[in-house]
């Protein structure tokens, strides 16, 4: 049995993770801005009010979990949301506010958890990113995806620094799942006509699709619980068909591009031959 600390537990992935952890026989510290929304779990969980952008509240929430259960084995940074707006016309304050939750919340919780995990000889930190945090380029959600790229970079350093303490770090990269991420949790700001072919198209095709997302959050939660319990969990875990295929395609493209530009890149060093020939540029096809 392990003790789980899960942020953003009131809905979506967080709620599914609470259920999956309980079903697997674990105990849970479930945090939410409004802990009364966790009443369905009764005394099976320790509900704690938490705004992850408040470092003092984060430390207090972790301390409450340790006081109740004696330790924290798995820390899940799940809290996050996205709003839609172009970079050009979107509100800067909204961009920053999203980043406060999506990146700085992860920073605050991870940083506060390290002393406890180190003192007890290890544990696991699960960071919720997105497949967009690996491949990027989704029009309209620049703040969200920038934060997820930051979470990935932060988590790689976190893993390197804490591995000697027995701490494992796993970054989860979902594609589209049937949560309210693109529903009640998302505000869609004005999309100017100039961005209809990019942000507008993405909004109609993906975020406002009546067919719904393909991913089952309950299945994903069970997968995460099982993976987090391994001695060697994956450093990155894409979830969903689209996530898996996009990750593979992106990695293959990176390998191809890296090979094509390898000699040019090497030639920047003093000891290497210079100049190196650039790859042959493919002509751009033009219709009409």
* Catalytically active residues, by annotation: 129, 144, 148
Name residues whose C-beta falls within 8 Å of residue 55's C-beta, 6 or more positions apart in sequence: 108, 111, 112
Residue of 128, 63, 101 lying closest to 48 (CA atoms): 63
Residue of 79, 82, 266 lying closest to 188 (CA atoms): 82
Q: How far from the centroid of its chain's Cα atoms is residue 170's Cα?
A: 10
Q: Which two tokens stand for residue 101?
A: 């939750």
Nearest-10 Cα torsion for 144, 146, 152, 158: -100
Nearest-5° Cα angle at 102, 217 to 118 = 90
Point out which residues pair with 29 in neighbouring strands.
Answer: 5, 46
List alpha helices for the chain, DSSP H.
12-23, 55-69, 92-99, 105-120, 132-135, 142-162, 201-202, 217-228, 241-260, 262-266
Q: Is residue 105 a contact partner of residue 79, using CB atoms and an 8 Å limit?
A: yes
Cis before residue 275, ω within 30 degrees of 0?
Answer: yes
Beta-sheet strand order (sheet of 3-6): 45-49, 27-32, 3-6, 74-77, 123-128, 167-174, 236-239
């Amino acid at each position: 049995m392990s003790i789980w600390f899960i942020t953003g537990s009131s809905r979506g992935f967080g709620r599914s993770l609470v259920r999956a952890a309980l079903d697997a026989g674990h105990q849970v510290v479930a945090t939410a801005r409004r802990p009364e929304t966790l009443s369905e779990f009764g005394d099976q969980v320790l509900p704690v009010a938490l705004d992850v952008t408040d470092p003092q509240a984060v430390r207090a929430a972790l301390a409450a979990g340790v006081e109740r259960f004696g330790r924290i084995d798995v820390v899940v940074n799940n809290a996050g949301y996205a709003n839609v707006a172009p970079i050009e016309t979107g509100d800067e304050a909204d961009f920053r506010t999203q980043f406060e939750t999506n990146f700085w919340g992860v920073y605050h919780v991870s940083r506060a958890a390290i002393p406890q995990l180190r003192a007890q000889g290890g544990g696991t930190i699960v960071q919720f990113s997105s497949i967009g945090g690996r491949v990027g380029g989704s029009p309209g959600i620049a703040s969200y995806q920038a934060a997820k790229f930051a979470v990935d970079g932060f988590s790689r350093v976190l893993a390197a620094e804490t591995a000697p303490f027995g701490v494992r770090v796993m970054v989860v990269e979902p594609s589209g799942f049937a949560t309210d991420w693109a529903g009640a949790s998302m505000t869609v700001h004005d999309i100017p006509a100039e961005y209809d072919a990019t942000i507008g198209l993405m909004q109609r095709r993906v975020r406002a699709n009546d067919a719904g997302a393909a991913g089952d959050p309950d299945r994903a939660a069970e997968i995460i619980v099982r993976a987090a319990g391994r001695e060697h969990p994956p450093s990155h875990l894409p979830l969903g068909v689209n996530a898996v295929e996009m990750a593979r395609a992106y990695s293959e493209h990176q390998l191809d591009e890296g090979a094509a530009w390898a000699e040019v890149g090497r030639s920047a060093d003093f000891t290497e031959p210079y100049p190196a020939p650039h790859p042959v540029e493919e002509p751009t096809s033009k219709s009409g």
